[in-house]
Amino acid sequence: MDTLNVLLMGFISIVIVNNLVFTKFLGICPYLGVSGRIDMAFGMGMAVTFVVTLSGTLTWLIDHLILIGTPLEVTRYVCFILVIAGAVQLVEMYLRKFFPSLYESFGIFLPLITTNCAILGLCLFINLWGIDSLLEAVVLSFGAGIGFTMAICIMAGIRENLNMADVPKCLKGAPITLITAGILALAFMGFAGMIR
Amino acid sequence: MYKLKHFIEQSWLLIAASFFFGLLIAVTSAGLSPRIEQNKINKRNRLVGALLPEAKNFVPLDSEIEIESLQGQKETVEVFKALSDTGECVGWSFNAIGPGFADKIELVVAVDKNFEKLAGFDVLASNETPGFGNQIKFDYFRDQFKGAPTEGLRLEPSGDNTKTDDAEIIAISGATISSEAVVDIISNAITQIKEQIKRKGLMGDDR
Amino acid sequence: MTGKTEAKSTAYRQTLLAGLWRENPVFRLLLGMCPTLAVTAAVKPAFTMGCCVIFVLVCSNIIVSLMRDLLKPHLRILMFTLTIATFVTIADLFLKAFVPAMSETLGPYVPLIIVNCIIICRAEACASKNGLVISIIDAVGMGVGFTVTLCILSGIRELLATGAIFEIQILALLKDGGWFVPWAAMSMPVGAFITLGLMLGLVNKVTNKEA
Cα dihedral across residues A134, A140, A142, A144: positive or negative: negative
Percentage of residues in chain A having pLDDT higher than 70: 94
Q: Are B82 and B91 in contact (CB under 8 A)?
A: yes
Count the neighbouring beta carbons within 10 Å of the beta carbon of residue C140: 17
A181 is in which domain, residue-wise?
A: 20-186
Q: Do B148 and B166 meet the contact criterion of CB atoms below 8 Å apart? A: yes
B22 and B115, same domain (yes or no): no
B25 in A contact zone (CB under 8 Å): yes
CA-nearest of C81, A81, C124, C74 to B10 is: C74
Q: In A, which residues are within 8 Å of B73 by CB distance? A: 6
**CA dist A35 → A107, B28, B139, B170 (Å):** 15, 42, 46, 47
Cross-chain residue pair A78–C82, CB shorter than 8 Å: yes
Sorting pLDDT into bands at 50, 70 and 90, what band is B198?
confident
Residue C92 counted as domain residue = yes
Strands B118-125 and B65-68, sheet pairing: unpaired
Q: Which pLDDT score, from 0 to 100, does residue C210 have? A: 45
Is residue A130 situated within a structural domain? yes
| pLDDT over 60 at B13, yes or no | yes
Q: Which of A184-193, B39-48, C172-181 is predicted with the least confidence, judged by mean pLDDT?
A: C172-181
Choice between A94 and B131, residue whose per-residue pLDDT is larger: A94
Evaluate whether residue C208 is within a structural domain. no
The residue of chain A with its CA nearest to that of B70 is A196
> Residue A4: its chain B contacts at CB < 8 A?
none
C38, C109 in Cβ contact below 8 A?
yes
Residue A9 lies in a domain: no
What is the mean pLDDT of the segment spanning A130-144? 89
Asked if C151 and C42 count as a contact pair (C-beta separation under 8 A), the reply is no
Contacts of B78 (CB under 8 A, 6+ apart): B60, B61, B94, B95
* pLDDT exceeds cutoff 50 at A100: yes
Query: Is residue B74 located within the same domain as residue B176?
Result: yes
Q: Where are the alpha helices (DSSP H) in A13-37?
A: 28-34
Residue B82 lies in a domain: yes
Is C108 at the interface with chain A, CB within 8 A? Answer: yes
Query: Do residues B27 and C92 lie in contact, with contact meaning Cβ atoms separated by under 8 Å?
Result: no
Residue-wise pLDDT tens digits, B95-130: 888 888 777 788 888 888 888 888 888 888 777 777
Report yes or no for ipTM above 0.85: no
Is C7 within a domain? no
Per-residue pLDDT tens over the stretch B67-104? 777 777 777 777 888 888 787 888 888 888 888 877 77
User: Which among A140, A176, A172 is positioned nearest to A155, based on CA atoms?
Assistant: A176
Q: Which residues contact A188 (CB under 8 A, 6 or more apart)?
A: A16, A19, A22, A23
More confident position, B140 or C87 = C87
pLDDT for residue C34: 80
CA angle, B75 then B76 then B78, to 5°: 140
Q: Give the per-residue pLDDT at A1.
A: 66
Task: Give the residue, A167 or B69, on which the prediction is more confident.
Answer: A167
**Does residue B151 sit within a domain?**
yes
Instruction: Please answer whether residues A5 and A139 qualify as being in contact, where contact means their C-beta atoms are separated by less than 8 angstroms.
Output: no
- Rounded CA-CA distance A122/A39 in Å is 25
Residue C1 pLDDT grade (very low, low, confident, very high; cuts 50, 70, 90): low
Shortest CA distance from A19: residue in chain C? C189
pTM of the model: 0.84
The total number of structural domains that make up chain A: 1
**β-bridge pairing B118-125 and B154-156:** unpaired
Residue A144's pLDDT is what? 92
Q: Is the pLDDT of residue C87 over 90?
A: yes
Same domain, B123 and B177: yes
- Whether C179 is covered by a domain: the verdict is yes
Q: Is residue A79 part of a domain?
A: yes
Q: Is A82 on the interface with C (CB under 8 A)?
A: yes
Residue with more model confidence, B65 or C37: C37
From B178's Cα to the closest Cα of chain C, the distance in A is 17
Contacts of B35 in chain C (CB under 8 A): 97-98
Q: How many domains does chain C have?
A: 1
Average pLDDT over residues B43-49: 81
DSSP three-state, residue B92: strand
Confidence of residue C211 (pLDDT cuts 50, 70, 90): very low
pLDDT by residue (tens digit) across C140-164? 888 898 999 999 999 989 888 888 8
Asked if residue C8 belongs to a domain, the reply is no
End-to-end CA distance of chain C: 43
Spatial separation of the C-alpha atoms in residues B79 and B192, rounded to whole Å:
12
Asked whether residue B205 is assigned to any structural domain, the reply reads no
Question: What are the DSSP calls for C31-62, one per residue?
Answer: --HHHHHHHTTSHHHHHHHHHHHHHHHHHHHH
Q: Point out the least confidently predicted range of A61-70, B33-42, C110-119, C172-181.
A: C172-181
**Confidence (pLDDT) at A147:** 92
Q: Is A12 inside a domain boundary?
A: no
Segment of A24-33, A138-147, C35-44 carrying the highest mean pLDDT: A138-147
| CA distance linking residue C201 with residue C211, whole number of Å | 10
d(CA A180, CA C197): 9
Cα-only R_g, chain B: 23
Any domain includes B207: no
What pLDDT score was predicted for residue B1? 67
Q: Which domain covers residue C122, as residue numbers?
A: 20-203
Same domain? B73 vs B172 = yes
Predicted local confidence at residue A117, as pLDDT: 81
* Residue A137 located in a structural domain: yes
Length of chain C as a residue count: 211
Four-residue CA torsion sign, B127, B133, B137, B142: negative
Q: Which residues of C touch B (CB under 8 A)?
A: 67, 70-72, 75, 78-79, 82-83, 86, 89-90, 93-94, 96-98, 100, 104, 161, 182, 184, 187-188
Has residue A3 been placed in a domain?
no
Percent of chain C with pLDDT over 70: 96
Range of the domain at B93: 57-200
Answer yes or no: is A83 within a domain: yes
Q: How many domains does chain B have?
A: 2
Cβ proximity of A150 and A132 under 8 Å: no
